[in-house]
Amino acid sequence: MTCIGREAAVLKMHPRSTGFTFRTARQSSSRLNNQSARADYVILGTRAQQLELICTDFCSFQYRAGLAEVIVRKTANTEHFSKVIPGLNDTAENLLSTIQLGLEVSPSMLFAVARILEGCSLLGGSPLTMLVPGALEFKWQCSLFVGGDDLSSGQTKVKSVLVDLLICSGHETTSIVRYNHLGNNDRQNLSTPPQFCSKEVCKSSVVDDTVHSNPTLY
């Protein structure tokens, strides 16, 4: 179904206000089970059905806003890392087949595929699980840009700069201590090991180059 066709169906069934609030795909394996009570504006159904509805919402937004082109910056809760599994998400063909079969695909990956299908570039602003080989191959086939995994615009950016300064000055940094008040939904989301691990890896990786380039200190 074309964007205009899907938009007509959406307006007929679910008239909306001038604001744009869209549902997200919810999969229990990628999100905390204790968020079920709070997650009340989500897309259920099979992976293929979720993908179709995400595309419908996107077309609705683009049509109503009168936009010729859209670049999406996705900022979302941290998801656990996805493993690259041969036959499931290692190629574009396998990834699309996995979605149709209803196998494990993260919400971020569904959004990435939906944006690629609609000819839209996508920027990731938080640790995501969309940059598997299959998604990358798919966007190359469609000549689109999809990239990014963390904005690193706050404490993380300052931390990386300060650590680089200290190490280059000959001071061996032994630990990095930071405070985060965990507002919004972060506390719940990061209270389980899989989600926390993805955040931990993302935050620690910003100083890897500096550490590895100083074998004398480390």
The chain-wide mean pLDDT, for the chain, equals 77
**Inside any domain, residue 218:** no
Low-confidence ranges of the chain (pLDDT < 50): 1-2, 4-13, 15-17, 30-31
* Residues 184 and 206 reside in one and the same domain: yes
State percent of the chain over pLDDT 90.
19
pLDDT of residue 5: 47
* Residues 61 and 11 reside in one and the same domain: yes
Smallest CA-to-CA distance from 53 within 105, 118, 106, 134 is with: 118
Q: Residue 31: which CATH number? A: 3.40.50.720
Residue 108 · residue 76 · CB < 8 Å: yes
Based on the structure, what is the number of domains in the chain? 2
pTM score > 0.85 for this model? no
* Residues 116 and 9 reside in one and the same domain: yes
* Residues 106 and 42 reside in one and the same domain: yes
- Classified as helix, coil or strand, 146 is strand
- Classified as helix, coil or strand, 209 is helix
Tell me the residue range of the domain where 195 lies.
155-212
**Block residue for tokens 């998801």:** 79
Tokens representing 121 are 């570039």
